[in-house]
Amino acid sequence: MKLELRGITKRFGDLVANDRIDLTFEPGRIHALLGENGAGKSTLMNVLYGLYTPDEGQILVNSEPVEFAGPGQAMAAGIGMVHQHFMLVPVFTVAENVVLGHEPTGPLGLIGLDRARALVRDISARFGFDVDPDALIEDLPVGVQQRVEIIKALSRDAEVLILDEPTAVLTPQETDELIEIMRQLRDAGTSIVFITHKLREVRAIADEITVIRRGKVVGTATAQDTEAELASLMVGRAVSLGVEKAPAQLADGEFTVSGLVVTDAVGRRVVDDVGFTVRGGEVLAIAGVQGNGQTELTEAILGLRTPIAGSIVLDGTELTGLSVNDVLDSGVGFVPEDRSTDGLIGSFSVAENIILDQHDRPPYARGIAMDLRVVRERSEAFVEEFDVRTPSVEAPISTLSGGNQQKVVLAREMSRPLKLFIASQPTRGLDVGSIEFVHKRIVAERDHGTPVIIVSTELDEVMALADRIAVMYRGKIIGIVGGDVDRDVLGLMMAGVAPESAEQEAAEHPTLLHEADVIADDQQSEEPS
Amino acid sequence: MSQLANPRLTPDGLLDEKAMAPVSWRTPIILGVISIVGLLAFVIFTHPGRISRIVVSRSADAIQIGTLHLPSQGSALVLLVVAFGLTGLSFWATLNRRRLGVIPIAFGIVMLFAFLIWAVAGNTGGLPLPLLLSTTITAAVPLVFGALAGVLCERSGIINIAIEGQLLAGAFLCVVVSSATGNPYIGLIAAPIAGALVGLLLAVFSIKYRVDQIIVGVVLNVLVLGLTNYLFSTVLTQNPQGLNNPPRMPSFAIPGLSEIPVIGPALFNQTVIVYVMYVVVAVLQVMLFRSRWGLRVRAVGEHPKAADTVGIKVNRTRYRNVVLGSAIAGFGGSAFVAAALPFTKEVSAGRGYIALAAMILGRWSPTGALAAALLFGFADSLNRVLGNIGSPVPYELLAMLPYLATIFAVAGLVGRIRPPAAEGKPYP
Amino acid sequence: MTQEPENPESPVVPEQDPGTGARGNRDATRPDDQWLRDAMHRMLTSNWLVTLLAIVAALVISGVLIAIADEDVREASTYFFARPLDTVSAAWNSVAGAYASLFRGAVFDFQAPTLARAIRPITETMVAATPLIFAALGLGMGFRSGLFNIGAQGQVLMGAAAATYVGITWSLPVVVHVVMAVIAAMVVGGLWAGIAGFLKARTGASEVIVTIMLNWIAIWLVTYLLTTTVLRQGGSRPISPAVGENARLPLLFGEGFRLHWGFLLALGAAALVWWLMERSTIGFKFRAVGANMDAARTAGINVNMIFVFVMVTAGILAGLGGAAQILGTDKTLQAGSAGSIGFDAITVALLGRSRPLGTVLAALLFGALRAGSPLMQTVSNTPIDIVLVIQAVIVLFIAAPPLVRSIFFLPSPDRPRRVKEVAA
């Protein structure tokens, strides 16, 4: 099936999210849509999937114009989508999720669950998936959930499959498997639309590459283009792909976690006997696939969760059992992984968000009376220092862009003397400019002698920032390795393989991306600089 | 507990996640405390030598069973021994990480009987069991319909606090229409229409205008109360003969079933409203959990965006469910006036809120709602019966029981309660 | 995690324009000439206009009901097609008569023989508004803190019962007695509401359900206590004796008027609540928890403590409302003493948009409806129940500004925040 977009324009108020976009997706091709966060890729795909109605332009299926009033019609036309945030009902089984919306029914509209299970088993067998049709979604790891999403799309005979940032939740080895599936589908004649901002993956997989910037198509590229070329096309200027940092200078501070056990609401050990030490002046990155206990670990350190065993010691002070307030007071700065949920209060002003954790102490308050003049003056200074683009400190934070919101969080957390700095997914959803800013501030904090913990599921970020890397898997730390470790080794560790066997395994079975990297490095070294 | 703190105690290093969950001793402890209180109240600090009489058959029944004469203290002691046994069993089950299953329910029934025997000890008339059961059904019917309305709305993600208003509106229109036409069945058709209208307002305000659902519900209750009060004081009082004089709804005995001793007459010699209730509960239970419609409704209530992305119209589903559910509540309102009772101000008297409680206690399932509503109906009916025969417990204190039970339920003292995830949130 | 996080919006005013939000510090820190322009801007686009139009719409709808229920109108409508003007004029007469008597009973009785009698209605409105202000202030605080306290009814009743108990059983000197009775009401009201806050904090139990259930428990409890010697001293009816002279709130304008010190206390409470919510660290915490509980928790605010604190404060205020009703107005307690104060207070808080000034004005409006309705009933035969309808319709309308705007053909204001949401 050939799918074309002609002159698609989508506006939200004054913001033009898609500006006259033309694209053609041919059957049997993997078409990568490359663009940084906020470039308008997801909006475009939501238009294509019938979730948004375009303001202008046409969608053509096999050269016939079509209009999608909703995802149902898009699906009927043969378009399937694997969303970045999985569209699965957590309390339903795999089979129920797969058939939802096109249920096989018997008399009285009762669902033929046996047929649903057979459908799941059938598709799983075709692609070598191991998915139990009767498992509840909420009990499955994210990698498996993604397969359920793919099964869901395939069960509807999708001829165009859109994958929205599909590798964000996968290890390199799982990414390999996904690439294998994509190729298998392509060879069977499916058009694959692969949305990403990761340059290395694009180069390894894509048959065609279209780059989108600020809602416009700015060009096409091929897998032969270098990462630097792709990056400058994507961002619109030359960008440095790495983070510049000097070797770690260890300082006095020391933060130690030992034997930490945290359970969830139903009593499962989500953090299981975790221990590590971070010294002042170094960055320890905690890597791992999303949902392996990293969130709970940081929440336990901050005092949001009470561990059932273990200790957390900062410069000789025990932090377990302290309230969040006391933990913050003992010099911990914390950037939560989800800034809109945990980091900011959307309806509060920039100023109020900047003083959120300091509002009840001098200089902002005397007794219980707040001094609004001081609040305003101080927050204006921070806005200046952290380059937050806002009309005023009185503007509601929700009107700011993601990058500026994250700068407000950083301003709040870094604006007092720190003995420990923890940042969870510090650059999730940010544009490249903001990512560079955030990374610089983190490195500066490290160079200032503060112990820094970065929790990230993005291997690129982990490898760029870390002096040492701890990999978490199912609540345990699989191993702690140096910052210069091989990506494939990290990937295997993220899948639960111990460091020693991971190194051996990685050497024997390098991933596709790894091989592509080697070739790319060779090419780059051949190019005259 | 020390075992839990140290994972190294397991020899092979592999931890069974389930087995490592911290044990909750809450239920066994609660059962134990209740048992001790029961022992003190019903056995130790009670008048010895009294007899508890329990009337099992009515004179009209086909099969006659004589009145039971039980020695109060002795019978209570026996039941308490059983209760302590069940408590012990629950401790054992908790220690061995087994599910408690029906233990708490069995315990509840045993303690209930112990209470009944104590409450009627020495009473010459005795406890009229058939009356108790038939009034239980009568009291439970509006609660069941109201709770089903709640289930239908909340399963699709809309909180329905307006059950009270829907019951009241149903009762009002049922009275007016059946009085005006002289036919009780036409009133039964009118009642759900009134409920559905209230539901439509709830749906429009909460879905289209995205007003907070709790607010709309509370305000709609005030609105319906004001409207029915106002129309009662004006139109109905101006013409009570023609508009507030509903005919009696006849009862039908189902041959065979209605002759079962004790429960037969209560369950199977009833008005058509009660039979509709049985059918609706059964149909909804099956449809909600086995049918395509039910799967879609639950998907909309749990994760509307996921439902949307597979082509299910979220808000259309919600509109339908709210209107349908509210119609069911409206139908339930007719139960207040089925016995040829005229409409009075606030005839629903807060039953809608108890129905809400029954829905929660029944964990958002039709059969659960039925069970909880029957329990509340029983409490209500027992209270009246005990009031009539002279009870040792003040009426007002027993009347609090359903509300207390609900608070205990939502506070998680009787297990985890998990409402539909998208409940109360407008979409998109 | 397959679900996207959602920002909990303010539960009370879902349509709220970010520009007219609650951030008081903005007003304080603005340049001096700005406030006038702001005021103009607010007048034209804001909630006030919507509120006014909602009231108008509600009066029109209720007018239709009044006309329908009027026998003269219905009689005239039987020959509507012959002489339609008869119906119209009959309807006009009935509606105008009803609203005129409502005005006379609630604001100013222009037919009264003396000035004192003429202005007495407005003081009656204040009397009726007093418990509403107290209870609605507490509810409004709760709403802004993200807590749906439906339990003002029970809290008012428990406060009233406590005040009555102290008022009838203790014997204390002037001033001390009334102060003790008021404090008892505050303590009991606060504790009663605190149950819901505590359960929410400890177990996550929905405060909506718990407070609804506590309302009924309070009613049965007070009904029970009225059968015992705790609240009843002899007599066969379930009604308490009158509270002692010393326990009464003094009258403001002497015997001719029922207006008592409770009204001034209520205004004082409103001012205090304003300061607390807008200028104090406590209010900052309350608002933070209400706007985004998770972010508040991550920033070190003890959210569970705030739940308890908010509920207790709301209960104290509701308890004060109960005390004002008994010690100032009723003097004796019955199971129905709280009337529908608790539920009316919900509508008052909503109409007042959970702000102290708005709450006072809304309470005066609904108090006026309460105070004026008896005269309306006697003069124009319109049952007082119409007041409930007016109240409910007003609140429904103000909760849905787009509906009001479309009824009155007003342009809808820009809603930048929604656009942002979609784009994200």
**pLDDT tens-digit readout, A330-376:** 999 999 998 888 999 999 999 999 999 889 888 898 889 999 999 99
Q: Could you tell me if B237 and B381 lie in one domain?
A: yes
The percent of residues above 70 in pLDDT, for chain C, comes to: 86
Question: Residues B122-147: pLDDT tens digits?
Answer: 777 788 888 888 889 999 999 999 99
Contact C291 A325 (CB under 8 A): no
Find chain B residues with C-beta within 8 A of A261's C-beta. Answer: 5, 7
Question: Residues C202-237: pLDDT tens digits?
Answer: 888 888 889 989 999 999 999 999 988 888 877 778
pLDDT confidence tier of residue C1, bands split at 50, 70 and 90? very low
Contact C14 B211 (CB under 8 A): yes
CA distance C308 to chain A (A): 17
CA distance A413 to chain C (A): 10
Q: How many CB atoms are located within 10 Å of the residue B100 CB?
A: 17
SS3 B346: coil
Name the domain boundary from B88, B104, B125: B125
Determine the pLDDT at residue C413: 64
Closest by CA position to C418, among listed B317, B315, B205, A15: A15
> Higher model confidence: residue C11 or residue C347?
C347
Give, for A5, the enclosing helix (H) or strand (E).
strand A3-12
User: Which residue from A327, A348, A402 is facing C291, i.e. has the nearest CB?
Assistant: A348
Does a structural domain hold residue B108? yes
What is the C-alpha to C-alpha distance for residues C294 and B168, in angstroms, rounded to an integer? 39
Distances (CA, A) of B36 to A297, B33, B77, B334: 43, 5, 12, 43
Name the domain boundary from B84, B104, B125: B125
Does a structural domain hold residue B421? no
Q: Could you tell me if B101 and B160 lie in one domain?
A: no
| ipTM entry | 0.86
Q: What are the structural domains of chain A?
A: 3-235 (3.40.50.300), 251-331+417-524 (3.40.50.300), 345-416 (no CATH)
Q: Could you tell me if B162 and B87 lie in one domain?
A: no
Does a structural domain hold residue B342? yes
What is the C-alpha to C-alpha distance for residues C367 and C357, in angstroms, rounded to an integer? 15
What is the C-alpha to C-alpha distance for residues C46 and C34, in angstroms, rounded to an integer? 17
Determine the pLDDT at residue C25: 40
User: Which residue from A43, A85, A375 is facing C25, i.e. has the nearest CB?
Assistant: A375
Q: How many CB atoms are located within 10 Å of the residue C202 CB?
A: 13
Distances (CA, A) of C186 to A166, A406, C25, C232, C331: 57, 44, 30, 21, 17
Does a structural domain hold residue B92? yes
User: Which residue from B290, B291, B302 is facing A91, i.e. has the nearest CB?
Assistant: B302
Q: Could you tell me if B172 and B223 lie in one domain?
A: yes
Q: Mean pLDDT, chain B, as a whole number?
A: 85
pLDDT confidence tier of residue C23, bands split at 50, 70 and 90? very low
User: Which residue from A83, A105, A269 is facing B292, i.e. has the nearest CB?
Assistant: A105
CA distance C295 to chain B (A): 19
Pick among A295, A347, A393 to test the C interface (most C CBs inside 10 A): A347
Does a structural domain hold residue B10? no
Distances (CA, A) of C240 to B326, C155, C166, C215, C217: 41, 18, 12, 20, 19
Dmax over CA atoms of chain A, in Å, equals: 73
Determine the pLDDT at residue C4: 35
Does a structural domain hold residue B4? no
- Exposed, middle or buried, B17 (CB in 10 Å: 0-12/13-18/19+)? middle
What is the C-alpha to C-alpha distance for residues B198 and B207, in angstroms, rounded to an integer? 14
Q: Amino acid identity of B122? A: G
SS3 A195: strand
pLDDT confidence tier of residue B10, bands split at 50, 70 and 90? very low
Q: Could you tell me if B187 and B225 lie in one domain?
A: yes
| Domain containing residue B222: CATH number | 1.10.3470
- Exposed, middle or buried, B19 (CB in 10 Å: 0-12/13-18/19+)? exposed
Contact B403 C213 (CB under 8 A): yes
Q: Could you tell me if B200 and B89 lie in one domain?
A: no
Cβ under 8 Å to A: C residues 236-275: none
- Cis check for the bond before A65: say yes or no (omega within 30 of 0): no
CA distance B166 to chain C (A): 15
Question: Whole-prediction pTM value?
Answer: 0.86
Say whether pLDDT at C373 is over 80: yes
Q: Could you tell me if B98 and B172 lie in one domain?
A: no
Write out chain A's pLDDT in tens, 529 residues.
888 999 999 988 778 889 899 999 988 899 999 888 888 888 888 888 888 889 999 999 888 999 888 888 898 888 999 988 889 999 999 999 999 988 888 888 888 889 999 999 999 998 888 899 999 998 888 888 999 999 999 898 889 999 998 888 888 888 888 888 899 889 988 899 999 888 888 888 889 999 998 888 988 888 888 888 888 888 888 877 678 888 888 888 899 999 999 998 777 889 999 999 999 999 999 999 888 999 999 999 999 999 999 999 999 999 998 999 999 999 999 999 988 889 999 999 999 999 998 898 888 988 899 999 999 999 999 999 998 988 889 999 988 888 899 999 999 998 888 999 999 999 988 888 889 899 999 999 999 999 999 999 888 899 989 999 999 999 999 999 998 888 889 989 998 888 888 888 888 888 877 776 666 555 555 444 3
Does a structural domain hold residue B9? no
Determine the pLDDT at residue C45: 60
Q: Could you tell me if B112 and B181 lie in one domain?
A: no
What is the C-alpha to C-alpha distance for residues A523 and A517, in angstroms, rounded to an integer? 10
Q: How many CB atoms are located within 10 Å of the residue B292 CB?
A: 21
Determine the pLDDT at residue A327: 94
Question: Residues B50-79: pLDDT tens digits?
Answer: 888 888 877 777 677 777 888 888 888 899
What is the C-alpha to C-alpha distance for residues C388 and C374, in angstroms, rounded to an integer? 13
Contact A302 C419 (CB under 8 A): no
Q: Could you tell me if B73 and B205 lie in one domain?
A: no
Structural domain boundaries in chain C? 42-106+381-417, 132-363
pLDDT confidence tier of residue B119, bands split at 50, 70 and 90? confident
Q: Could you tell me if B106 and B61 lie in one domain?
A: yes
Q: Which two tokens stand for residue A282?
A: 């170094």
Q: Which two tokens stand for residue B245?
A: 């004089």
- Backbone φ and ψ of C380, nearest 5°: -115, 10
Q: Could you tell me if B85 and B135 lie in one domain?
A: no
In this predicted structure, which of A87-96, B371-380, C229-238, C415-424 has the lowest mean pLDDT?
Answer: C415-424
Split into its structural domains, chain B has a count of 2
* DSSP for residue C12: S
The residue in chain C having the minimum alpha-carbon distance to the alpha carbon of residue A44 is C423
Determine the pLDDT at residue A2: 86
- DSSP per-residue string spanning A363-404: TTEETTEE-HHHHHHHHHHHHHHTT---S-TTSBGGGS-HHH
Determine the pLDDT at residue C74: 80
User: Which residue from C23, C298, C420 is facing A336, i.e. has the nearest CB?
Assistant: C298
Q: Could you tell me if B162 and B255 lie in one domain?
A: yes
CA distance C372 to chain B (A): 16
Does a structural domain hold residue B384? yes
Cβ under 8 Å to C: A residues 498-517: none
Contact A372 C25 (CB under 8 A): yes
Q: Which domain holds residue B275?
A: 129-410
